[in-house]
Each structure stands twice: as structure tokens, then as C-alpha cells.
Amino acid sequence: MAKKEKIAITVKNLNIFYKEIKRFSIAKSGLNNLVNARNFHAVKNVSFEIPKGEIVGICGKNGSGKSTLLRAIAGIFSADSGEIDLHGNSISLLSIGVGFQRKLSGYENIFLSGLLLGYTEEEIKKRLDEIIEFSELGDFIYKPVLSYSSGMYSKLAFSITAILETDIMLIDEVLSVGDIHFREKSYNKMKELINDENRTVIIVSHSSKTLKSLCDRVIWLNEGEIKGDGPAQEVVDKYEEYMKNLD
């Protein structure tokens, strides 16, 4: 009998709505009048399972629900209905604009992020020099994060997530941010991390090269629904053909 795969992530019948407010006059409507608000169905009845150790990409045009889905898995967004089960695994989300206290320094945010990931202060201190060195931020590590460029933010976020490893890593587009040298360095580090057969990774990306070269499987989201789910090469090719026909 074949050995049953251990499941790392289960998403079942997931639905997420946003409140979408149309433009209206405050003078006429009043601040508390939300008559013009309507629900936007961002993720529509999405279901899938990811075995432990699998590298899964998520593709789709802008507004398809990719980042919303990732944030729901990370616990940042709540589901309106459906289930997300991480089966006891630790999880980290690597995404620009998520997770840092902008008034604190990069140095302070390393400790804050580490504690939120479940590391002790002593464990973070042991990895501190490695995180700072990998980030290449120099003295900026002691400056407030609000003074960082998007590239610097990306470097710090990636360094923390790459060095303070979790069972599940969620990566939202950050491999495409930053200077060429750091993008290459991040790409190589990511390949090293995902070679661990016990680590499960979900990568949201618009880069076909990234999805095809790093992922075992790709889920294609369109208008909040799963339009394709299968081998990376096959699904990305179908997605690219679909996008060409939209032009």
C-alpha cells in the first residue's frame, strides 16, 4: 500500500468578501451612511490541499484574489465562510507592506517578527547577525522602517523569513523587488530553502520563470475562483495563452 501524503495546508470552501464603497457626497449622505456600500466577492468557494514539502505557485491577473488568499492562509484576513487548516504547522508571510511596525527600526522589527513567529529572544539573538548581514542594510538597520524604500523593506522582510525558518512559507511577489544583485541572491536562497522536503511553500508571482523553475504545482486564480490546478509548466502555459487572448 502506498504511503499516504502528510497534508500541510487544507483550504475548504473558502469565501472572502470585501466592503466596496462607491464614491458619494459626504455632505449629502453623512459619514455614517453606507447605502452605497456593496460586498465584493474576492475569493469564491476555493478548495485545495497541499502536501507537506510541496512548492505551490499561485498565478492570475491583478484582482484575482491571490494576495487575499495568501493573507487568509496567514491568518491576517478572516474567512466569511469555509475552513483553513494548517495542521499545527508554523507559518510566515513574506510580503511588502505586511508585518512591520513602521515607526520602529529594522533592528527592533527583527525581534518583533521573530517573537510573532514563535522564536524566543535568545533564539533570535543567535540568528541576528546572520539576518543583518544577509539584508545588506548596513546602518539603516537602526533607522525606522518608515524611512525605507520598497527595496530595503523587501531585503529586511526576506532576510527575516529566510533565516527564521518556519514549516510553511508564504511569499507574495517579493522576489521581484529590489536591486538585481539582491533578487538573484534571494532567488538562490529560496531554492536552497525549498530543497528541504519538510518545508511547504506557496509563491504568488507574475513571473512565469519563477513559477516554472521553483514550483511543483501551480494554482491559477481568476476572478476569485480556481481556473486551473496542476503541474507548473502546464498551468502557467495555459494562463499565458489566456492572457495573450485578452490583449
Name the pTM for this structure: 0.81
CB 167 within 8 A of CB 91: yes
Percent of the chain with pLDDT over 90: 53
pLDDT in the model for residue 29: 52
Confidence of residue 191 (pLDDT cuts 50, 70, 90): confident
pLDDT at residue 25 tops 80: no
| Domains along the sequence of the chain with CATH | 56-78+90-246 (3.40.50.300)
Q: Which of 203, 159, 162, 179 is nearest to 66 (CA)?
A: 203
pLDDT tens digits along 39-95: 889 999 999 999 999 999 999 999 899 999 999 999 988 999 999 999 999 998 877
pLDDT, position 28: 52
pLDDT band at residue 4 using 50, 70 and 90 as cut-offs: low
pLDDT at 7 > cutoff 60: yes
Choice between 217 and 25, residue whose per-residue pLDDT is larger: 217
Contacts of 220 (CB under 8 A, 6+ apart): 58, 59, 60, 226, 227, 228, 229, 235, 238, 239
Confidence of residue 178 (pLDDT cuts 50, 70, 90): low
pLDDT band at 1 (very low <50, low <70, confident <90, very high): very low
Q: Are 151 and 178 in contact (CB under 8 A)?
A: yes
Strands 37-51 and 7-21, sheet pairing: antiparallel
Is pLDDT above 70 for 176?
A: no
Per-residue pLDDT at 94: 76
Whole-number pLDDT of residue 2:
43
CA distance 141 to 139: 5
pLDDT at 37: 63
- Taking the C-alpha atoms of 93, 94, 97 and 99 in order, what is their torsion angle to the nearest 10 degrees? 50
Q: Which residue has the higher pLDDT, 194 or 152?
A: 152
Cβ pair 141, 106 in contact under 8 A: yes
pLDDT tier for residue 27 given thresholds of 50, 70 and 90: low
Q: Chain-centre distance of CA 74, in angstroms?
A: 8
Residue recorded with cell 518556519: 166
Q: Tens digit of pLDDT for each residue in 98-147?
A: 668 989 999 999 999 888 888 899 999 999 999 999 999 999 999 999 99
Which one is predicted more confidently, 46 or 173?
A: 46
Q: Indicate the average pLDDT of the chain.
A: 86
Model pLDDT, residue 33? 52
